Amino acid sequence: MLASSPAVLRASGLCLRSPKSWAWLSGPAKVRPGGPGSWAPARKAATVTLEPAGRCSWDEPVRILVRGLAPGQRVTLRASLRDEKGALFRAHARYRADARGELDLTRAPALGGSFAGLEPMGLLWALEPERPLLRLVKRDVQTPFAVELEVLDGHAPEAGRLLGRTVHERRFLPPGVRREPVRAGRVRAALFLPPEPGPFPGIVDIFGAGGGLLEYRASLLAGKGFVVMALAYYNYEDLPKSMETLHLEYFEEAVNYLRNHPQVKGPGVGLLGISKGAELCLSMASFLKGITAVVMINGSVVNVGGALHYKDETLPPIGLDPSRIKVTKDGLADILDVLNSPLEESNQKSIIPVERAESTFLFLVGQDDHNWKSEFYANEASKLLQANGKEKPQIICYPGAGHYIEPPYFPMCRASLHTLVGRPVIWGGEPRAHAMAQVDAWKQIQIFFHKHLGGEKVTIPPKLESFI
């Protein structure tokens, strides 16, 4: 039986524009001549403001307001940002000012563009890469993303002159949070500590098969009252260059480092992982001591990609059949059915022995995940736990959500290069439903860890639920 989150809503259809639809926005804004019914005589400079003003954390909602328009004036709002590699991400939406010549995105529905309807944060979660097959990630959490917001006269494809603009900085290192690089024994990581006096609950944060060290989820979560270790496990500094063979002793060393840190409240720690990282969290909870609570985002119940060793035990990778790859009309790979079923006897040696775990689990599942069958894996893990007298895990399923469930307001990644497959794959998801899932999942992660790791009772601001 699947648990439901009250904030989970079903996906609604959107009319999303292709990157080609940006052609009209790619050059300088053109002045549209006045004519019968034209607003030209009344048009003037508009002011774009955000509440709260100033820099805010990436996972925080903002209220976007435009003032100085003519009553009922038609305008187009567009947002853009560049990542650290210079890749451009953009979104736009069409609006009509109210009778006072103002526009409040918490009250005014978008009339079309990258999204439609009342979506106060749509200009962020609907961002799309100018070049396809790119995923927006933050590589340096010590610098913010700068989001440019512009107001143009009229609606596409006839949008006219630029009426106003502002630059909104969204940070990844919350106020007072400290970052400490970790090079202890074999462990390569970054540790994020909250500003208030500790100790705090401790969490190890692990990403997927892309390798390297991604810190943005850990840095944001540290602002919620946790000591969070972003842990690399391959393809970073002097760590192994591939996942062909992994040893749980490395992860055990990382867990012990965190448990022994003076700012970490014991006796156990939490684990947070997505994709391959979630699968590793399940293995860690099954084999290692000192793990109290585990959140798995679209994880697996079987070992995938390479052999996993711990002492004298080995979990072989589950088999796969490349002939089961489907190809979309865009020429992208759909790998949903590639992995063999763990229910077949020949594959059962790859099942993670979750029945050994002494942890409490939360499974967050995107029901349109096309990387693998996350919902099936969560249910199989639940069956194994309950069959062995363990507590039934909490499973929250999100209709219309894809594979990469990120912190709030990250745009959904439709497709990108899969490290293990060696070609671009689709990740699944419908943008609005995915955005809603990310807001709720972020809330559920905080509630779960504060409850089971003995932190302070967390209060999620109502605005986090309403500003989608």
Q: Which residues are catalytic?
A: 275, 369, 403
Nearest in space to 125 (alpha carbons), one of 463, 372, 414: 414
Whole-number Å distance between alpha carbons of 280 and 309? 12
Give the residues across from 148 on adjacent strands: 80, 167
Whole-number Å distance between alpha carbons of 103 and 112? 15
In 367-430, alpha helices (H): 374-387
Whole-number Å distance between alpha carbons of 34 and 141? 47
**Number of residues written out for the chain:** 468
Whole-number Å distance between alpha carbons of 60 and 75? 26
What's at 278, amino acid-wise? A
Q: Please enumerate in sequence order all residues whose Cβ is within 8 A of that of 211, keeping only pairs 6 or more positions apart, or say none.
A: 232, 233, 234, 235, 236, 243, 419
Q: Residue 303 in contact with residue 318, Cβ under 8 Å?
A: yes
Q: How is residue 459 annotated by DSSP?
A: -
What's at 330, amino acid-wise? D
Whole-number Å distance between alpha carbons of 338 and 332? 14
Q: Residue 416 in contact with residue 445, Cβ under 8 Å?
A: no
